[in-house]
Each structure stands twice: as structure tokens, then as C-alpha cells.
Amino acid sequence: MPTDSFDLQPNATPTASPIREDILKNPGFGRYFTDHMAHVRWTLDAGWHGREVRPYGPLTLDPAAAVLHYAQEIFEGIKAYRHADGSVWTFRPEKNAERFRRSAHRLALPELSDADFIGSLKALLAQDHAWVPTPKSAADECSLYLRPFMIASEKFLGVRPAHEVDYYVIASPAAAYFKGGVEPVSIWLSSHYNRAAPGGTGFAKCGGNYAASLAAQKEASAHDCGQVAFLDARENKWIEELGGMNLFFVFKDGRIATPRLTDTILEGVTRDSVLTLARDEGLSPEERPISIDEWREGAASGEITEVFACGTAAVITPVGELVTEEGRIRLTAGSDNPIAKRLRTKLLDLQYGRAEDTHGWLTKLV
């Protein structure tokens, strides 16, 4: 999709360069937004139309808009990376586009084509590329975080799939998701709440899943933990994922395991990339059920040498300990997380164009 198929309404009062440069020095995560947003509208009669890039700003929504009542909404997370020659690239956008369609199908929203999904990122970046930070070193994971999302905007309180829908992409300069960067995070094990149940929406990236995780996230914060780990809803035994990231376990014999995908687990693009990179590194990746007992026993015996979380926002972040109501699960091996660090470096080197893109994972945006 050529970017000129998106009409441009330029922002008449864009952020002044010195202010933008100041923001890019310390953007945090999800606090600042660029000057424009991309938008495509869908109606039952006309399908997708009205492609545009317009000034970033508040949306006008009718108070009866279906999304505000029935949470008919989905989103994605994907980043833009600046390479040393100044060009701007994104990572496996067709995977996000495909997941966005799966999420749309589950939430009874219209499916957006790859051409519109990737075209909207290109059209937005054509205007806002100056907001993509330049990494200061190979350890610097600064990027422009892109947030495509789709909402049911029809003014109607009947419970049925909306006949009017809007798709947007906003963009936010981002540093590390966790304040400590690559320092190990503590994770809280939720024993009162589950994130998803079979037949539900766990595999879809919809706001409702994240809303359902917040009470547990509150418990996590009360225990000084940065994230929550959820177990399966049927047996409360099998590890599923964190509130917004997948989990990996590294074993001392070179195996590296992550919970196998079910309809209660979000299929992370980083998760999939880690499985491939681990194989490239001579490790033996496994996708299989992993129980909380295996975590506890493997940590105590030294069989498990590392645990890490991964996601677009968090990249790869080591997990230092799991805090549970019965006590703490720490790795006796006292690991310095060499595998997590190695995979993280491999992934970042690829994303920032410092390593050869042997898997064809990069797409040029600008």
C-alpha cells in the first residue's frame, strides 16, 4: 500500500525540535506521543475507507459508542528502530498484522489487510520519523513504540458487533519498559485471579485481557513486583504468561522451554523470534506445558538456570524471583542470565541493523 493512499492533514503546530529532542533523551514508556496519527474507518456498508494521517489529538466519541460499554477493542504493539545510516525499520510487521486479524475475528471486528496495517505504519512514519530515537550504544533499546488499535465506535447500546469501527495508529518514543532496564525483575504469582480461560479471549490482543489483569497487577505492586504470572484457569497448575509478556525457562543441559500455545496464551512475536534465535544458537527450544511445581523444583535443584520474560515492549528481561503467597522461588544457581543476555543482544543487533537479517525479519519504514 503506497503511503500516498493515506490523505495527509499536517499538524499545523508540531512539537518544536528542541522539545522533541529533550523528550527523546528520556522518553520512559508510553508517556509522550508524536505529532500525527494514522486512521482508517470501517462501516458495514462501505468497508474500509477514509485512509488518512492527521494531527495527533483527542478522539470525539459518542458516549454510547459500543467500545465504551462492551469493550469491543483490539490492539497491537510493534516498534520502529533507527539504524546507523538513519533509516527506520520495523520487525516482522506481517506477524503483527496476522495476529491483529486473529484478534479482530475473535472480537467480531472487521479484519484489516496486511497492506493497510503495514501501509498505516509507513504513512505515519513518513511524517513522524524524527521521533525515532537514535541508540547511544548497543545496549540502548530506545525505539518508537507503535500502537495500532481498533475500536467499535458505533453509537448503539444493543449488544451485537458494531457497524462502525475506527482503526488508528499512534506512536510513542520508548526506552526500556522496566525502569531497571535489563536488571532482573520480580514477578508476583497470582493465586486469586486467572487471566484467561479456554474458549475465551486469552489468545487475542484485546484491552479486556489487560483490564482483567489489573487487580492482580495491583497485588504485584503491593509486593514490589513489576509483573504478574498467571496460571491456567482449569487446574491452577500450568504456567501461562505474564500480564503482557511470555515466559521462557533455560535448563542447564541447553534446553530452553516456553509454555506451548493454547487459546489462553498470546502468541508473542518476540516469543516466536526467541525460539528461532535459540535454535540458531545451538540451544534446544521446547514448547510444552510447564507447571509451577517444575519451576519451584527446577529452581531449587539448579536444573533451571534462568527464567526470562519477553515481549515487544520488554524485549528480553530476566526474572530474578517469583514471589508467591507461600514464599519466594529463586534460582539457587545464582545465575547472571548469560543466555537471556545473549539472546537479547542477538535480537537487538538484528532489530537495529547491526547483524545480518538472515531470517528476512526487517521491513523498511522510512
Task: Tell me the per-residue interface mask from 115 to 144 with ligand COI, x by CB under 6 A, - otherwise.
Answer: ------------------------------
* Residues 82, 84, 89: CA angle, nearest 5 degrees: 30
Query: Which grid cell sits at 250?
Result: 533455560
Residues 142-161 that bind ligand COI (CB under 6 A): none
Among 39, 66, 77, 173, which residue interacts with ligand COI (rule: CB under 6 A)? 77
> What residues contact residue 360 under an 8 Å CB cut-off, 6+ apart?
none
Beta strand 239-242 with 227-231 is: antiparallel
Is the Cβ of residue 29 or residue 156 nearer to ligand COI in the bound state?
29
Give the amino acid at 346: K
- 184 binding ligand COI? (CB under 6 A): no
Q: Minimum CB separation from ligand COI for residue 67, in Å?
A: 17
Query: Which grid cell sits at 342?
Result: 545473549
Its sign, for the CA torsion 171, 53, 36, 207, is: negative
Q: Minimum CB separation from ligand COI for residue 270, in Å?
A: 7
- Cα separation, 32 vs 50, whole angstroms: 26
Q: Minimum CB separation from ligand COI for residue 176, in Å?
A: 12
Give the amino acid at 231: L
DSSP, res 197 = -
Contact between residue 103 and residue 167 where contact means Cβ atoms under 8 Å apart: no
Q: Which stretch binds ligand COI (CB under 6 A): 88-96, 181-189, 234-242, 306-314?
A: 306-314
Among 151, 169, 313, 322, which residue interacts with ligand COI (rule: CB under 6 A)? 313
- Cα separation, 44 vs 112, whole angstroms: 13
Among 15, 172, 227, 312, which residue interacts with ligand COI (rule: CB under 6 A)? 312
Among 148, 226, 311, 318, which residue interacts with ligand COI (rule: CB under 6 A)? 311
Among 93, 119, 244, 259, which residue interacts with ligand COI (rule: CB under 6 A)? 244
CA atoms within 13 A on the CB side of 271: 23
- Cα separation, 257 vs 259, whole angstroms: 7
Q: Which stretch binds ligand COI (CB under 6 A): 161-169, 297-305, 310-318, 344-352?
A: 310-318
Residues 254-283 that bind ligand COI (CB under 6 A): none
Q: Minimum CB separation from ligand COI for residue 318, in Å?
A: 16
The residue ranges that bind ligand COI (CB under 6 A) are 77, 244, 311-313
